[in-house]
């Protein structure tokens, strides 16, 4: 699936200054064309997997800020 859709979701959440450990279906995941792999990584808050899947690292850090120790 397109990493563009993944980044689009993260961009939307970052714009809301959302900072979370993980996401759920309530976070509008269904509004974006995401692969199961992408959905799983989002729901786990797996920042490394998201990076591997092409999520922009600046958006990863913004949205999943609690996942980072510093």
Partner 1 sequence: MGDIVAGMLTSHAPLITAKPVVSDPQQRSRFLAGFDVLRQRLEHARPDVLVVFANDHLQNFFLNNIPAYCIGMAESYEAPSKGGATFLKIPPRRVPGAKAWAQSLLEAGWEAGFDFAYSQELEFWDDVSVPLHFLMPRATIPIVPILTNCVAPPLPPPRRSYRVGAFVREFIQTKCPKGQRVALLGSGGISHSVGTPETGKINPHFDQRILEWVRQGKGDALAALSHEEIEKEGGNGGQELRNWIPVLSALPGHKGEVLSYEPVPEWITGVAIVWLTMS
Q: Please report, as ranges, the residues that interact with partner 1 according to CB under 8 A.
A: 4, 7-8, 11, 14-15, 17, 47-48, 51, 56-62, 68-70
Nearest distance, CB of residue 56 and partner 1, angstroms: 6
Asked if 3 and 19 count as a contact pair (C-beta separation under 8 A), the reply is: no
Q: Cα 8 vs. chain centroid, distance in angstroms?
A: 9
Closest by CA position to 64, among listed 13, 25, 30: 13
Closest by CA position to 10, among listed 42, 49, 52: 42
Whose Cβ is closer to partner 1: residue 25's or residue 57's? 57
Nearest distance, CB of residue 4 and partner 1, angstroms: 6
Whose Cβ is closer to partner 1: residue 25's or residue 52's? 52
């Amino acid at each position: 699936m397109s990493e563009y859709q993944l980044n689009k979701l993260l961009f939307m959440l970052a714009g809301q200054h959302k900072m979370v450990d993980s996401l759920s279906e309530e976070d509008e995941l269904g509004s974006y064309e995401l692969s199961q792999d992408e959905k799983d990584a989002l729901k786990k808050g797996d920042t490394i997997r998201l990076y591997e899947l092409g999520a922009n690292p600046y958006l990863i850090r913004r949205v999943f800020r609690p996942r980072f120790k510093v």
